[in-house]
């Protein structure tokens, strides 16, 4: 779906309740509770938390759950359609992601401009995610996501056309990446808010982990395919394949059928500014949510830019070409997929605070070692561990937050999360690119990893709520 490292990610769980979107279908026998609506404190959820959450009426004891990480796909038809289509599309997205970064390096030969291209894809998210979240809360999520996927298809087609014709420049590349980021800013809030409507809150944590798993499976496959396509047909056809891949997610979305009332537009009439303030006030008054937002900002600023600097690390530090860069990106994806398999299917059995602490500290340490590693093989192994750690960090924080948020605020609050999480990318990537220009890419990555390790250690000592989450 969204076009950059976008799916980046991006939650914990809910509490016994039923999937209204799936009620009456073949999976009826597997879910025993009905989600009725919302605002009562104390419920848990799907992409993070514990606060005023949806109220659940008529909940019954949930059946025993297995550790099968793919159970949610088997149970929920609508989610299965969404997940399969999205995963196919994401393979194309990751092909485009690595090729765009490599193309930026070839066009500019400047780590700062490589970082700037990465920043261009996420800057619109920083600027527009909050008003987009308000808009999403007042819209039919499924229809909105469908139309925005069409926009991504058009963007990929234009990128293919200009590159194929030989008319692409670094300025044109930045403009097209900005367009993708703008679409993503409006697509992420309704897409994240839609998941709970496809699976219900009880299966939300697993659904979020599966989404991240599909994202990272694509991160494994996409770069490898891209390397072959670049070598055999040229970089333009990577973008053409990505454009075609959007047909898969559009078909999946077209086949989804929601029960009446499940995708109704929210209330309108109040100003966009009022909607933004309402979401911010909610987060500010919930201590754990407020702590998580600050932690997310710090980790996004320090942790994500390593991916923006990866093509420079591959070429200038490890002396590898596009294929080597794709392998490094794939190693990160394999690690993230492994993390997904460890999380999905376990739901509330996870000691979330402990796992979150371990993953955060491990991410910083492995980033620092990766920046210092002169060996290609050890770099692959370190990125594999980074992938596991980042998956644990992202999936648990996302789920923890979503599980605390009332239904009528979910898109806006998750838009705030996206604004912080992805919106810090352009700042961190641009900063990393500038520092790398001054001192080199290896010490830049190592330094940011060291700062992340120190910050994680401090945060979990300073806030016991994180350990107890």
**pLDDT above 90: residue 176:** yes
Tell me, what's the pLDDT at 58?
31
For 454, the token pair is 């120190």
Cα angle 450-456-459, degrees, rounded to a multiple of 5: 140
With cut-offs at 50, 70 and 90, classify the pLDDT of residue 43.
very low
Non-local CB neighbours of 106 within 8 Å, separated by 6+ positions: none
Average pLDDT, the chain: 75
Q: Which residue has tokens 């991504």?
A: 152
Residue 418 pLDDT: 75
H or E stretch including 41? strand 37-43
Task: Report the C-alpha gap between 347 and 361 in whole angstroms.
Answer: 22
- pLDDT-derived band at 245 (thresholds 50, 70, 90) equals very high
Residue 435 has pLDDT above 70, yes or no: yes
More confident residue, 14 or 145: 145
pTM above 0.75, yes or no: no
d(CA 309, CA 367): 12
pLDDT (tens digit per residue) in 48-63: 233 333 322 233 333 4
What's the pLDDT tens digit per position in 179-238? 998 898 888 778 877 887 788 777 776 787 787 777 767 877 887 788 888 878 889 999
Burial class (CB in 10 A: 0-12, 13-18, 19+), 269: exposed
The pLDDT value given to residue 143:
84
| pLDDT at 4 (0 to 100) | 40
What whole-number distance in Å separates Cα of residue 432 and Cα of residue 111?
Answer: 9
Whole-number CA gyration radius for the chain: 21
Angle between helices 204-232 and 236-255 (to 10 degrees): 150
Instruction: Please give the pLDDT value at position 266.
Output: 52
For residue 154, what pLDDT band results from cuts at 50, 70 and 90? very high
Task: Quote the pLDDT of residue 243.
Answer: 94
Helix (H) or strand (E) holding 311: helix 310-312
Q: Using an 8 Å Cβ cutoff, are 237 and 136 in contact?
A: no
Lowest mean pLDDT, pick from 8-12, 226-230, 360-364, 371-375: 8-12
What span, in angstroms and rounded, lies between the C-alpha atoms of 355 and 469? 10
Domains in the chain: boundaries: 5-467
DSSP string, 88-146: HHHHHHHHHHHHHHHHHHHHH--HHHHHHHHHHHHHHHHHHHHHHHHHHHTS-HHHHHH
pLDDT at 467 over 80: no
The first and second tokens of residue 93, run together, are: 């997205």
* CATH superfamily membership of 5-467: MFS general substrate transporter like domains (1.20.1250.20)
pLDDT: which is higher, 137 or 375: 375
Confidence of residue 369 (pLDDT cuts 50, 70, 90): very high
Nearest residue to 397 (alpha-carbon basis) of 193, 264, 237, 208 = 208
pLDDT at 303 > cutoff 60: yes
Tell me: pLDDT of 344 over 70.
Answer: no
Number of H helices, E strands in the chain: 18, 2
User: What's the pLDDT at 411?
Assistant: 67
pLDDT at 395: 74
Distance CA 209, CA 204 (A): 9
In this structure, are residues 88 and 217 in contact, taking their beta carbons and an 8 Å threshold?
A: no
446 versus 266: which is more confidently predicted?
446
**Is pLDDT larger for residue 65 or for residue 319?**
319
Percent of the chain surpassing pLDDT 70: 77
User: What pLDDT is recorded for position 69?
Assistant: 57
Which distant-in-sequence residues (6+ apart) come within 8 Å of 252 by Cβ? Answer: 81, 82, 84, 85, 86
Proportion of the chain above pLDDT 90, given as a percent: 16
Quick check: 449 pLDDT over 60?
yes
Per-residue pLDDT tens over the stretch 4-37: 433 333 333 333 333 333 344 434 333 333 322 2
* 4-18, 70-84, 85-99, 433-447, range with the lowest pLDDT: 4-18
- pLDDT band of residue 336 (cuts 50, 70, 90) is confident
Q: What is the pLDDT of residues 89-123, one digit of tens each?
A: 989 988 998 888 888 888 888 878 887 887 788 78
Q: How far apart are the first and last CA of the chain?
A: 29
**Structure tokens belonging to residue 129:** 């995610």
Q: What sign for the dihedral angle of Cα 357, 8, 117, 418? A: negative
């Amino acid at each position: 779906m969204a076009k950059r490292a976008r799916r980046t990610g991006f939650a914990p769980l809910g509490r016994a309740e039923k999937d209204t979107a799936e009620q009456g279908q073949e999976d009826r026998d597997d879910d025993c509770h009905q989600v009725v609506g919302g605002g009562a404190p104390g419920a848990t959820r799907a992409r993070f938390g514990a606060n005023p959450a949806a109220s659940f009426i008529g909940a019954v004891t949930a059946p025993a759950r297995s550790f099968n990480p793919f159970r949610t796909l088997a149970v929920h038809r609508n989610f299965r359609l969404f997940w399969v289509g999205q995963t196919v599309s994401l393979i194309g997205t990751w092909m485009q992601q690595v090729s765009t970064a490599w193309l930026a390096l070839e066009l500019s030969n400047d780590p700062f401009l490589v970082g700037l291209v990465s920043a261009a894809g996420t800057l619109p998210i920083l600027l527009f995610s909050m008003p987009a979240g308000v808009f999403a809360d007042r819209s039919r999520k499924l229809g909105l996501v469908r139309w925005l996927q069409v926009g991504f298809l058009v963007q990929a087609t234009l990128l293919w056309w200009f590159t194929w014709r030989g008319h692409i420049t670094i300025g044109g590349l930045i403009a097209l990446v900005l367009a993708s980021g703008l679409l993503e800013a409006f697509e992420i809030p309704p897409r994240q808010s839609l998941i709970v409507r496809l699976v219900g809150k009880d299966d939300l944590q697993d659904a979020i982990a599966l989404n991240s798993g599909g994202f990272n499976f694509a991160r494994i496959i996409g770069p490898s395919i891209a390397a072959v396509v670049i070598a055999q047909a040229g970089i333009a056809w990577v973008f053409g394949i990505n454009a075609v891949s959007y047909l898969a997610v559009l078909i999946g979305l077209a086949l989804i059928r929601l029960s009446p009332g499940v995708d109704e537009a929210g209330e309108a009439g109040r100003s966009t500014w009022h909607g933004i303030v309402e979401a911010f006030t909610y987060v500010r008054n919930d201590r754990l949510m407020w702590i998580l937002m600050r932690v997310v900002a710090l980790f996004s600023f320090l942790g994500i830019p390593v991916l923006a600097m990866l093509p420079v690390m591959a070429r200038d530090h490890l002396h590898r070409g596009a294929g080597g860069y794709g392998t490094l990106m794939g190693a990160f994806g394999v690690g993230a997929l492994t993390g997904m398999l460890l999380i999905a299917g376990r739901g509330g059995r996870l000691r979330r605070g402990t796992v979150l602490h371990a993953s955060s500290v491990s991410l910083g340490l492995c980033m620092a070692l990766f920046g210092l590693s002169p060996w290609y093989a050890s770099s692959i192994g370190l990125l594999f561990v980074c992938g596991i750690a980042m998956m644990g960090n992202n999936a648990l924080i996302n789920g923890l937050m979503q599980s605390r948020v009332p239904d009528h605020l979910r898109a806006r609050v998750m838009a705030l999360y996206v604004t912080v999480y992805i919106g810090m990318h352009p700042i961190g990537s641009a900063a990393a690119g500038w520092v790398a220009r001054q001192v080199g890419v290896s010490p830049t990555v190592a330094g940011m990893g060291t700062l992340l390790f120190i910050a994680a250690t401090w945060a979990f000592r300073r806030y016991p709520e994180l350990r107890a989450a």
